[in-house]
Amino acid sequence: MKISEISKLLDAQILTGEDASDREITSACCSDMMSDVLAYVKDQGMLLTGLVNSQVIRTANMMDMHCIVFVRSKNPTEEMLELAQECGIVVMRSSLRAYVACGKLWMAGLTQDTEDCDV
């Protein structure tokens, strides 16, 4: 699924990285614990989270992810967005709760590879 389609589906606003919104995402994960993302995630291209700090961006960078969705209208700071831009990560914000956002993505077919991931 393209990042642009994901943003539509989640009614999410892309905050940085708009120009990369053609990129395909084939799998995702959702967590507020960066420890768990680092330990259990394998090749998930996208992270949904309700945690807002610079370590969310850095963790996604370490895991070679392409996209971060902040749920529940959480607002990243300018500094976080700049960091994401440097790392080539698309950041979007959705007003949906994590549970609903994940449910929508799953229903829309974003289910590939998720059996490899424990988060």
Partner 1 sequence: MSEAVKFRFDVDGSDFSSAGAASVMVKKKLRQLGYPPEIIRKVSIAMYEGEINMVIHANGGTAEVEVYDDVIIITLSDTGPGIPDVALAMQEGYSTARENIRTLGFGAGMGLPNMKKYTDSMEIDTRIGEGTTITMKVYL
Q: What is the rounded distance in angstroms from the CA atom of residue 9 to the CA atom of residue 60?
A: 22
Minimum Å gap between C-beta 33 and partner 1 is 6
Minimum Å gap between C-beta 14 and partner 1 is 22
Residue among 55 and 112 whose Cβ is closer to partner 1: 55
DSSP-derived pairing of the beta strands 13-16 and 90-93: antiparallel
Residue ranges binding partner 1 (CB under 8 A)? 32-36, 38-39, 51, 53-56, 58-59, 61-64, 79, 83, 86-87
Minimum Å gap between C-beta 59 and partner 1 is 8
Q: What is the rounded distance in angstroms from the CA atom of residue 33 to the CA atom of residue 21?
A: 26
Residue 45, CA distances (Å) to 38, 77, 78, 113 in order: 13, 22, 23, 10
Sign of CA dihedral 48, 44, 66, 58: positive
Minimum Å gap between C-beta 41 and partner 1 is 10
Per DSSP, the three-state class of 39 is helix
